[in-house]
Chains A and B, each alone.
Chain A
Amino acid sequence: MSDETVRKAEIEKRFSFLEARFSKQLNEDEMGEVLKGVESTVDISIAMRSFELTYKDEPRSIFHPYDKEEKS
């Protein structure tokens, strides 16, 4: 599949989820803005995924167990 085909598929998938959840609340024009938002967030995702990570790369924010001293 071409990159554009994958992009379109992801846009459709995300949009159909939002349509199912919000189409009773939002009119056609408003859903049109949602679609533009989806296109933008998918493009952002694609830009981010193009950067290669390794197994060593951990999330910057990681879980810290409760620490009594920290709370004091």
Chain B
Amino acid sequence: MTKTPEFLPIRELGRLLRKKEVSPVELAKFFLDRLEAEGPKYNALVTVTRERALKEAREAEAEISQGRYKGALHGIPYGVKDLIATAGNIPTTWGAVPFKNQVLDYDATIVKKLSNAGAILIGKLAMIELAGGMGYAYPQASATGPAITPWGNKDSWTGGSSSGSGAAVAAGLVPFAIGSETWGSILMPAHNCGISGLRPTYGRVSRYGAMPLSWTLDKLGPMCLTADDCGLVLNEIAGRDPCDHTTSKSSFAYDDQDPSDRTFKFALLKDMVANGEEAVKANFGESLKILEQIGTIEEVEFPDLPYEAATRTILNAESASIFEDFFDSGQFHELSGDSSKFGAYSRLAVPATDYLRALRIRDRICDVANNLLGSYDAIIGTPRNQVATPINQPIRVSSITGLARDILGSVGNIAGLPSVAVPNGFGDRGLPTGIQFMGNAYEENSVLAAARAYQNITDWHNQHPSD
């Protein structure tokens, strides 16, 4: 290889592989070595899957050399958040000490789909324990320690819970990674790590083989260098799965036509950044000026509904049921989080009527979101209103517990709407900020087109941290 490939987008790596200018084995070895050497610096790594990766890479090499090129991900290395089951005697730790020796020994549907597309699994990536579902006040709530964003002074948090996925993509240790989001866990690390992350529509991607935290809120999605790469990955992982009855019958085909000539219609949530850091406000203001070049922007306001309370109640009740035996086991003490984690026991006392009320309110919220967003390509906002927190400080805002406001996050997740976060500048301590494009259910192509159009005229996604 004449040029090091660590920060090449999937589309470019695919072109090199297809033209046989680089071999899948060579590429896999490059990223395996890089992930193994650099991953621990960021507390981003749980397990390197070298044996499996080289086997898959040799298969890809043989196929490509015989002219059997499978598509955009053929021969591309990737990592998965360590809550996704993988065969081959590889642990799936859920980021938590009590599960550090757990071996599920089957491939989650998403891993099977990526294997079928010819992608090469090179590692399992760090995460906040149990996907942050038990609540946490510090980034230390992970079996592998606090994950560190490669930006700034390398002393700030990646965000969670797809922490390792965010750090590994940002540091050029994997060309793409799979994360999961129940409420904020893809968009937040994408923001803190200065990368592009897509939360697909609920049911777009099979959850089979992924740790459940909340059956009706959990989504799996790609974390990449560009929005275009997110589309390429979604194209391979989307689809109906008989093993996950919540997967949608709607098919998905990534529309990668150049969006430069499109005129977008954006909605802007009123007072979106009112409580944000100055740099977040300034960068968001600059982003709006850029978006005015490619579309119209209308300010909108969501009607007064208990968005966050309903979302929290669903998450609390479902996670309590999923982990009830774990609460009873006493192993909760082995988790790495601070003592505030014990607050999660309270979820076992949420009344069934409250859970059902939340599901009834969810129906109203879906209608509200559809009515409000229906005529727009995307609603724009920030994934977070502050840059990454130093790893030794408490996380400043958590919407999962308490009564903190997060309208876009709660509406997006309770209504299962797709959203893509992309970088839009830098703030305090040289840390990245971001912008998100959230759209109507099943309209990933619209939000991806908007994000790609934004990235066509900005350069933030082409800036990378030094090792």
Contacts and interface: CB of A to CB of B under 8 A. Distances in A.
Interface of A: 14-15, 17-18, 21-22, 25-26, 29-31, 33-34, 36-38, 40-41, 43-45, 47-51, 53, 57-61, 64, 70-72
B354 A48 contact: yes
Contact of B346 (A41, A48, A50, A51): A41
A contacts with B: majority SS? helix
A47 B403 contact: yes
Interface of B: 135, 216, 242, 245, 305-306, 308-310, 312-313, 316, 327, 330, 339-351, 354, 356-364, 366, 401-403
12 contacts: A18-B345, A18-B346, A22-B345, A44-B312, A48-B306, A48-B310, A48-B358, A51-B306, A51-B361, A53-B357, A59-B360, A70-B242
B361 A48 contact: yes
A37 B343 contact: yes
B212 to A, nearest CB: 14
Contacts of B402: 40
Given A33-B339, A47-B309, A60-B360, A40 B401 contact: yes
Top 4 A-B pairs ranked by shortest CB distance? Answer: A37-B343, A37-B346, A59-B359, A33-B342
B359 A36 contact: no
A2 B202 CA distance: 41
Contacts of A58: 360, 363
B contacts with A: majority SS? helix
Contacts of B342: 26, 30-31, 33-34, 37
B365 to A, nearest CB: 8
Contact of A17 (B310, B344, B349): B349
Contact of B306 (A14, A41, A50, A59): A50
B339 A26 contact: no
Contacts of A61: 216, 359, 362
